[in-house]
Each structure stands twice: as C-alpha cells, then as structure tokens.
Structure 1
Amino acid sequence: MRKYFIFLLLSVCTSLLFAQQNKLFTLDELIPGGKNFYSYYPQIGEQFQWHDDELMMLRDDSVFRVDPLNPNHKKFVFRFDEIRKKEKGGGIVSRVSFDREGSDNLVFSSAKGTGVYDLKTRQVILSVDFPENSANQELSPDNVYLAYTKENNLYITDGTGKETAITSEENKGIVCGQAVHRDEFGIKGGIFWSPGGNKLAFYRMDETMVACYPVVDISARTATEKSIRYPMAGESSHEVAIGVYNVKTGQTVYLKTGEPRDKYLTNVVWSPDEKFIYVAELNREQNHLKMNRYDAGSGDFDKTLFEETHPKYVEPENPVLFVRNNPAQFVWQSERDGFNHLYLYDTSGRLLKQLTRGDWEVTDVIGFDGKGQHLFFVSTQPSPLERHAYSVNLKSGSIHRLTNVPGMHTIAVSNSGRYLVSRYSASDNPGKVDIIDLKNAKTVTLTSALNPFAGISMPRVELGSLKAADGKTDLFYRMVKPANFDAAKKYPVAIYVYGGPHSQLVQNRWRYGSGGWETYMAQKGYLVFVLDNRGTSFRGRAFEDVTHRRLGVEEAKDQMCGVEFLKSLPYVDAGRLGVHGWSYGGFMTINMLLRYPEVFKVGVAGGPVIDWKYYEVMYGERYMDTPQENPDGYAKTSLLNKAGRLKSRLLIIHGDEDPVVVMQHSLQFLKSSIGAGTHPDFFVYPGHEHNMIGRDRVHLHEHITRYFEDFCR
C-alpha cells in the first residue's frame, strides 16, 4: 500500500511537472490589459533613488535607507501611510522623489494632489490638492506654488486655495501651458519653472489658423462631434509663443522670437541664474536650427549662440545642460557628425570641444559628478543592441566605460558621482539592479526579477543579422520558434514590422525584446520574425535618413531581404507568409503587400498611414518635405494609387477616435479599393484612439490571431 501511494504521488508530481513544462499561455497572460498579465511579466518590486550619496529604496509603501558600502544593510525610514494621514487630500501616495540635492524634503504625489514631506521632522510641510478639472500639474522648485492648466488656460496656487490666473484666453483655439508641436522635438510639456521658482515660462499655442478636424464620439445617445486641430503636411500650422510670468510682480512678458511665426520653438531651458531662457528654434523646413538666448525679464532677444544646418533635417530633442558648478558652460547634443554626440560650449556660443565621437550614439545624458568634472551618459557603444554607462572628463576628454555586464542598462548616479545604480536586462536576464562603487570597482546586486517562465517549455528566441538591400549594411533580427520546433517540418511565418524613425525593436533585453503576441503565435505553430530595417534609430544619421522624401521604399526593400532569408530556410513555408504592424508598422504592412503582391498570404494593419499628405505637419514634413515640394515622393509613397495591386487577405484595424493617424487614412484606402475592385477587410474599435488599451487590447490580439489562423494556415 505504501509503495502504491509513493508511486501515485510520483505520478501526480510528474504529471503536474509535465503540464507546467507544456503550458499553453492565454492572451490574458501575455497581453497588457489581460487579467493575469503580471503573473508572467518580469517585475522588480523595489525602486531606488539617490539622496545625495545615500541610496533610498522604495518597496511597497515603505522607504528604506541602503548603505552603499554595505548594500545588504537596510534601515527603515518611513511608510507612505505617514504622509497619507497628514496630507489634506488623503490620497494614496503613488510617487516620491527628493526635490533637490542636500535637502531632506521629499516631494510626493497622489491622484488627488502633491506636497512636500520633511524627513527630519516627519511633517507634511506643503500639501496641495489638485484643483478640480486641472491637468499638467507642476510644483515649483522652491515647493511654494503649483502650476496647472484648466481647459486652455494656465493657473498657479500657493496651497492655501487661492488661485491666480496667468492667462485668460477666451478663444479655445489658443492653448496655454500645454505641450506644443504635437509633442515632437522631445517636447513633453508646456510649463517651465525657473530654478528658484521665481518665474514661470510657458508655451502659448495659437491654433486658430489650423483647420478643425471632426472626430465623432458615439458614446452619447446622439453621437457628438469633438473637433481637434490637426495641421496636415503642407497646410497652415499653429503658431507658438513663450510667455514668462513673474510670480512676485504678477506680470507676464513674451519672448520676442520674431518672424516668421511659422516655426518651432523647442528645448526650452532656464539659465541657472534665471536671467535668460535658451530656446532651440527650428524653421518650418526643419533644416536650419538656431540656439537663441532671450532676456527673461524683458523678453528681448539677446544672442544666437550657434546654428546648425543639414540638407535633409535637423531634429533637436534635448535642451542645453549647464555644467555643474560652472554656469558659464553647457553641453549640447547634436548629430552634426553623423551620430548623436556631446559638445561642450561656453555661454558666449564658443565651441570648446567635442566630448564624444565615433560610430555610436549617446542615447541618454544622466548628469555630473559632485565637482562637475565628469559627465555620465548612456550610449550604444560597443553594440547598437545594448546600452552601457560611461563617464567623460570635461577637461581631458577621457571616456571610461562603467557597466560591463551585457544588456540594456539604465542608470542613476549619486550626488558625488562615486556610486552608480544600474537597472538592466538581457536576453537571458529578466532584470537586475546593481550598485557599482566606482572608487573601488565593486559591484553588488541589489535585487533581481524572477524568471516568470521558469520550468515552462518556452518558444525559443534567436538573434541574427543579414545584409540590407544596399548589400553592405548589417541589419539585426530576432526569430521566435515554437517550443517543439522541428527543422524537418514546414512552418508558416508571422512577420511583425514597425520600421519607422525613433524605433528599435531588436535589442539585447529580456528575450531580445520579444513580446507576448510573438509567444502566443509561436505556441500556435508559427515562426515569428522581426527585423529593424534602415530608417530606424540608434545607428546614425545615414542609416536613418536614407528614407528621406520616400518613406516606405528603402524600408520595404530591407524587409524583403528578411523575406528572402526566410524563404532560404528549409523549415519555412514560403506560401504561408503573413505580416502585421501598427501605425508606421500598419503603413509598412500594407506597403509591403502592395509592393510585393505575390509574396504574402495575409496582412493585418493597425492605425495605418495610407498617404503622408493626410499626416501631421511636424513629422510628415521632416521626413517627406511638403506635398508641394515633393509631389513625386508623395505620389510614389501613397498607398491609394496601389490599392488595385492587393492580392493578399488584408485586415485594417482603426480606433474611431484616433487623433494621431486619423481614420480618414483607412477610409480613403477602402474607397480606393472599392474603385479598384479589391477587397480588404475592416474592423473598428469604438471609443479608442491610436491604439487599444485595457481589456480591449486582449480582444485586439485575439482578433489579429484569428485572422492569421483563418487565412495563413
């Protein structure tokens, strides 16, 4: 009897282990918005922030102090609940950060408001409820005022409930305190406090000359129109000004940026002494940049410090960074030598030196050490598939690599520059956080993410490279193979594509960046293939701007190099190739189906650009110029005049309230297809914008999968 029980127990354990190893995932477990998504998503529960040279660890609702010299020693500091009980609004604290170096003030925020907590006295010294219907809230650096917007105007309050209107625009076509230029050029907001909190710069955007674009809201009993301002390529664009409000006097002046008004005002930053505002100004053609300085008191133009031009485009995305302890110098990021690098200037506009150079790109600038002698940054050196931390000495120009473990690193540096915290993952590493003592070259792991797929037989993700259509440029790809892959079989292929600027899908991060839908398709018996073509980012200007004035041409050629590679593999069924992508990837999906109509069996295109003349001014004109300047390029890249070439099964998906790629794109393609006698399928997600979120995102991927299963099997 005992032997039988042991045998039965072993049988049950073996069956459970086998079931675990051969688990089939649901989309609810693989797609954001799914009810079990976070059960299989690598997570690191702790967050780390520097307080001078002390490391603070946030875990759940508690904060601990970590000794950098002995990271295993952690001391409890306080719980968020202490703030919650003392805060006026009583909201759940969702984020905390130290307001500035050398301060014990902790800035906290919740859904209801924000404030400041003094660690020494354990008292809330400022608590400000977010005013009803407010947005874009920004606390002043001195923790006295809260700036925010309501509808199209800008306000401040001092926490006593007193509200001061900085602008009073009655025309809803004039918007203050919000991001402008459709968030291009690195713009993330429209409120810019001065370093001491004495003045507030802000964007004022006049959209009255931009055509109102109708978006229909079907949620009401009778559908209503909610118009947006959408400047299309070659048409009238909005005009932007920068105001400066003096908190003490209550007066506002506007920077005298002059004519033409139809230009881009970007990368706004204050000088450390609050006397000047620096603005990177770009012409409408986006090929001539001026770094201009203005007097913050009068708004008068002071000086053009330097200029940059390029025959295709200049794209500033980062403001000048003033050198710590030396406000007479700043660092500027530029692609002027073909790669994004760092340049040291003085405030007269004189170039002192190029700090970094080489066939690699700086991707992030972290900050300076305590003395302002070294600048920390992240770059694509030594491989564009990874990100590593470096420091550069501003005087000697010597560069030192600070992270050596393979992967994609994001870093935070202590006040003195002695310690570095690196959060990173790699293809075989779901996530780790290390603390690095740069003085003693000592690295200690603070925490690690568990492998959510441990013990499960997973689809295998492989990395490779092939030559681009130019015959010389290396392109990187990943391929996902079913867990039970058999090279003697023939497999259908799902190609996932994006292919546009500001993207890189293949990286040495967890599972090479492979997402949940790829896993889902692999377990259904597909090979999944993802390739970064020329035109994508982090490989230099020549790699990216080869697509200028003819978007979709070179990208499709490179993707077809990937297709030819796939067809050369004995286990690929060349008769069952499908492609899917969203936004630019939706454009690429249809583009590939129409340029190479005999190749693909199925395509699913989400939120696709169909004709670049229907896309917005800033992005569209950067990469295509205007339709008036480049009529041949617009004609050759338009998918409307190619609708008759459709031979594959094609599903187009669009959100009916999409403000990015308006649904006119898809509807125009349907109209052209009707005229040409072709038959794409169409599916709409009511109430959604440019992509589907929440539970509907799971439905979206089920719908995409069903289409592949119906027509690519």
Structure 2
Amino acid sequence: MRGLLSIIILIASLFCFPEISGQSGQKQITVEDIYQYHKFTPERLPEPFPMKDGIHFALSNNGNSIDLYSFKTGEKTGNLFDAREYDGINTFEAFEFDQTEKRILLTTRRENIYRHSYIADFYVFDLNKKILVPLSGSGQQKLAAFSPSGNMVAFVRNNNLYISDPFTGIEKPVTFDGAENEIINGAPDWVYEEEFGFSKGFQWSPDGKRIAFYRFDERHVKEFHMTMYNDLYPDLYRFKYPKAGERNAIVSIQVYDLETGDITEMDTGDETDQYIPRIKWTDDPEILSIIRLNRLQNHMEILHADAVTGTSEVVYEESNPYYISEASDHTVTYLPDQRHFILLSERDGYFHFYLYNFKEQRITPITSGEYDVAGFTGYDQKAGRLYYTSYESSPLEQHVFSIKTDGTGKRRVSSEKGFSRAVFSKNFQYYL
C-alpha cells in the first residue's frame, strides 16, 4: 500500500511540476529510476564492527572480504577474511564476531521472508585456524547467533530451535513441536515481527549455560490468504494473520538448560491476551528480564524471572491513560552492578532516560526537558557515561550527546548541523 501511494504521489508530481517531467529540458524521472535503479538512494557505509582492542574496526568490502581499519587514521591495517579464497562461498551479505573475536559468523544466500526475517546459509570462520565450515548441512537456517564462548551457535529451522557445534558437525534440536502455522519456537510470529520490530526470538544467557526463547502457539489464529505474483501463474500464500480485535497467538517464554536438557516455562501471568515485546538477560545469568504489555498497550511491566524455577516478580510498571510506545532493544539496559538499569521511557510526555534501582524501586531522571531522546548509542562502564542521540537542538536535527547516569556532565558530541549518529570504539575513545 505504501509503495502504491508513493507511485501515485510521484505521478501526480510529474503533472504538477513540469520541470521534473522533462518539459523544461531536464531529464525525466522515471519509476524505474526510483525503485529499480535506486538512483536517488543516498550512499551508505557498511555497518562497522568495533573491535575489542578499542583502536580498530572491521568493515565488509562489498561482501567479498572483511578488512580491519584504524579508528584514529581511517586507514586499512589488515585483512581478516576473504571469501574468494574459500570454496562454497563467493560473497556474503552480513557478518558478526563472537565475543572472543576468534570466530566469524557469515550470512550467505539470503532469502527474505517478511520485513526483518529471512533464511540463509550460514558459515563459521575460525580466524586462528583459517578454516571455514557451514553451520549446518541439513537445510537453510534463520537467526543464527554465537554462544558467549563462540563454541556453539543457536539457530531456527522449520519453527524449531537448534544448537550446533559447527566444527564437530554435532547438531542438536532444542524443541520438536514446531510446525508451520501452528507452533513457532525461537522466532516471532508476523504480528511481533511487524509491530514490535524484531525477528530473533531467543537469547543466550551471559554464561552460555541457558537459552531463553519465545514459543508462539498460533493454532487458533485465523489464516490470511495472499496471492503472490512471482511467476506466470501466481501462488497462494497462507499465514496466520490476526486482524484488529481477533485472537492473537498465545505467547510463552521458555528457558532451556544446556547441561540438563530441561525446558522451564517462565511465569508471565495468567492472562494470555497480552504482549511480551522483549526479553533480555540481566547481568545475573539466572535472572531473565521480561517486558509485559497489556493488549490495550497502556500498561507496561518489567518482570524478573528465575531461570531455574520460572517464578517471576514485577520490578517496574508504568501506565498511561492512552498508549505506551512499543518497547525496543534499548528500553532497558542493565548495568553490571546488578542493582540498576537504564530505562528509556515516555513517562513525562517526552522520551527520556532514567536510572532505576530495581532493588529499592527508586527512579531518577538522567535526561530531561521538552524534547525527545532518539535512541541509545552506548554505555561507557568505566566512565559511567551514557551516549545517546536526541532532538534537543531542534526537532529537525539529531545529535549525539553523552551524560553521566546521575544527570550531570552532559555534553554534545556531534558538532555539525543536520542528522548525526555514531558508532563508538569499545573504549569510547573514538567514534565514526
């Protein structure tokens, strides 16, 4: 619908503004220029990956290689991986390191599903041994993610969650009941992916001993039929699509223990007609944080669940007479003291950061004023400084700021007018 609306607006503009349509001798703008050739799409750098040493970042070179660059000079200092040197992979769409930075997970032959989700062939590269192996030989995977140690990778296939040791070839299913249009393990349904903006429905615990994951039971959700015009004869695509007021999938949060093989359901309350827009491990590997939102979306709670027993308690709640904006990955950021988290909330009418002591249930503002914070950029644990973007200078400009968690020492990092965001080195001494 948005694409159709854009085309209508474009056609109307060609009639309203003859100088665009070529009547004044200028080059005519075509629909193909915009949507097929992307002539007006601004150029962007690939997303840099800051390295642990604090002075380098890694960058993809057109999906052919991963090169190392200096934060200080911007110069290339080395090469970490070149796909053209290995069989079975000529190029890749994305990459990520494990926490030890000894292995790289590569995404190849990506096939999109919805807005965020896709299936792909993943490979793992060992930087020390210079060995490249496929993640799995049993079909394409979704949402592959390293364990904290980098020795294992979790992924989703056919609505089931798996764990793999790619260098031994050992692959183990965590769940067995996944089925199309019935049960989804480790990934969101269409509603959660589209409305809450995420596609990975599982999280490794900080110590790598557990995996928390979503389970969607959508057997009672009504189906939507969509005609797909990909070939000469269209196909009929069926998927579970609850319209407004209809029954949603029943969502539960499970925790899998790698040592015992047990799966424990977390207590998210008796109400099933609700949303769980985010889960996140705290710095305590036995405490899982769960955000719970009522269906009307005007009452949000943050639960702390015991990963061993499944019992939970509400540590924070917030209400609004009208609406609470969707939770994001940085609605809650836990600090290493295991007493505080940084909360991004619209509780005073504007988006701002707050420091919340969940042991004493005490909240204090970090940022304040008649402007919106745009997003979380990073937290410098050593200096106790929060880095973020906001519209403080103007609603038409976004700038990078930093501030201490007690609300003092605020300073603007970006200097030029316009729209700015930043990627910081691990030690926060440099940024791009």
TM-score, with length taken from structure 2: 0.81
Counterpart of 2:225 (choices 214, 238, 252) is: 214
For 1:169, give the aligned amino acid. D
Match of 2:57?
56
Q: For the residues of structure 2 that align with 1:233 and 1:320, how far apart are their CA atoms?
A: 28
- Which amino acid is 1:56 matched to? F
Please give the secondary structure, in 2, of the residue aligned with 1:379: strand
Which structure has the higher relative contact order (CA within 8 Å, separation 6+)? 1
User: Does structure 2 conserve the Cα–Cα contact (< 8 Å) formed by 1:191 and 1:202?
Assistant: yes
Assess, with a 3 A threshold, how the Cα gap between structure 1 residues 48 and 249 changes in structure 2: closer, same or farther. Answer: same
Q: 1:283 is matched by which residue type in structure 2?
A: N
- Preserved CA contact (<8 Å) 2:158 2:179: no
Pairing of 1:281-292 with structure 2 (within 5 A): 281-292=292-303
The secondary structure found in structure 2 opposite 1:360 is coil
**Residues 384-403 of structure 1: matches in 2 within 5 Å?**
384-403=395-414
* SS at structure 1 position matched to 2:338: strand
2:33 corresponds to: 30
* Residue identity matched to 2:79: V
Partner of 2:150: 143
Find the aligned partners of 1:330 and 1:115 in 2 and give their Cα distance.
Answer: 34
Aligned mates of 1:249, 1:287 — CA distance in 2: 39
Is residue 354 from structure 1 mapped to residue 359 from structure 2 by the alignment? no
State the partner residue of 2:10: none
Matches within 5 A, 1:169-568: 169=177, 172=180, 173-180=182-189, 181-183=191-193, 184-216=195-227, 225-301=236-312, 303-318=313-328, 319-323=331-335, 325-348=336-359, 350-371=361-382, 373-421=384-432
Q: TM-score with structure 1 length normalisation?
A: 0.51
Tell me if structure 2 keeps the 8 A contact 1:185–1:315: no
Contact 2:388–2:400 (Cα < 8 Å) also in 1: yes
Which residue in 2 is equivalent to 1:115?
A: 124
1:216-237 deviation digits (Å, cap 9, x = unpaired): 4577898764332222222222
CA distance in 1, matches of 2:69, 2:232: 57
Aligned to 2:83: 81
CA contact (8 A) 1:373 1:395 kept: no
- Which position in structure 2 is the counterpart of 1:484? none
Alpha-carbon distance, 1:316 to partner: 3.8
Deviation at 1:352, TM superposition (A): 4.0
Q: Is the 8 A contact 2:51 2:58 kept in 1?
A: no
**Equivalent residues of 1:333, 1:342 under 8 A apart:** yes
Change (3 A) 1:351 1:32: farther
Give the paired residue count. Answer: 390
Q: Where in structure 1 are there 5+ consecutive unaligned residues?
A: 1-18, 422-713
- SS of the residue corresponding to residue 344 of structure 1 reads strand
Unmatched tracts of structure 2, length 5 or more: 1-21, 110-120
After TM superposition, give the deviation of residue 152 of structure 1 in Å.
2.6
- Separation in 1, partners of 2:90, 2:337: 41
Paired position in structure 1 for 2:3: none
Task: Give the CA deviation at 1:30.
Answer: 2.8
Q: Rg larger in 1 or in 2?
A: 1
- The 3 A distance-change label for structure 1 pair 260 and 63 is closer
State the shift of 1:148 in Å. Answer: 2.3
Q: What one-letter code is carried by the residue in structure 1 that aligns with 2:412?
A: R
RMSD: 2.9
Quickly say closer, same or farther: Cα 1:186–1:356, change in 2 above 3 A: farther
Q: Distance in 1 between matches of 2:228 and 2:103?
A: 44
- Aligned mates of 2:80, 2:70 — CA distance in 1: 16
Q: Deviations over 1:124-168 (max 9, x none)?
A: 386524741432333323222222222232222221333322222
Once the two structures are TM-superposed, the CA of residue 242 in structure 1 deviates from its matched residue by: 0.7
Amino acid paired to 1:115:
V
Partners of 2:216 and 2:272 in 1: how far apart? Answer: 11
Q: Deviations over 1:204-254 (max 9, x none)?
A: 111122222333457789876433222222222221001111122211111
1:161 is the counterpart of 2:169? yes
Contact 1:56 1:63 in 2 (8 A): no
Verify the 8 A CA contact 1:67 1:73 in the aligned structure 2: yes
Q: Secondary structure at the match of 2:251?
A: strand
CA drift of 1:28 comes to 6.2
- Supply the distance in 2 between the matched residues of 1:25 and 1:130 (Cα, whole angstroms): 50
Change (3 A) 1:79 1:206: closer
Alpha-carbon spacing, 1:98–1:372, altered in 2? closer, same or farther (3 Å) = farther
- 1:410 Cα shift? 1.9
User: Which amino acid in structure 1 is aligned with residue 82 of structure 2?
Assistant: F
CA distance in 1, matches of 2:366, 2:350: 13
Q: What letter is aligned with 2:30? A: L
Distance in 2 (CA, whole Å) between partners of 1:93 and 1:133 is 15
Pairwise CA distance, 1:97? 3.5
Cα distance, 1:65 vs structure 2: 4.1
Q: What's the offset of the Cα at 1:287?
A: 1.5
Q: Does 1:43 align with 2:52?
A: no
1:196, CA displacement in angstroms?
Answer: 2.8
Distance change (3 Å), C-alpha of 1:407 and 1:221: closer
How many Å apart are 1:57 and its aligned residue?
Answer: 5.1
2: distance between equivalents of 1:349 and 1:185? Answer: 30
Give 3-state SS (helix, strand or coil) of 1:30's partner.
helix
Q: Secondary structure at the residue paired with 2:260?
A: coil
How many angstroms apart in 2 are the aligned matches of 1:347 and 1:126? Answer: 44
Identity %: 25
Cα deviation digits, residues 651-693 of structure 1 (max 9, x gap): xxxxxxxxxxxxxxxxxxxxxxxxxxxxxxxxxxxxxxxxxxx
Higher share in helix: 1
CA–CA separation in structure 2 for the residues paired with 1:278 and 1:259: 18
Q: Is the 8 A contact 2:401 2:412 kept in 1?
A: yes
Letter in 2 for 1:31: I
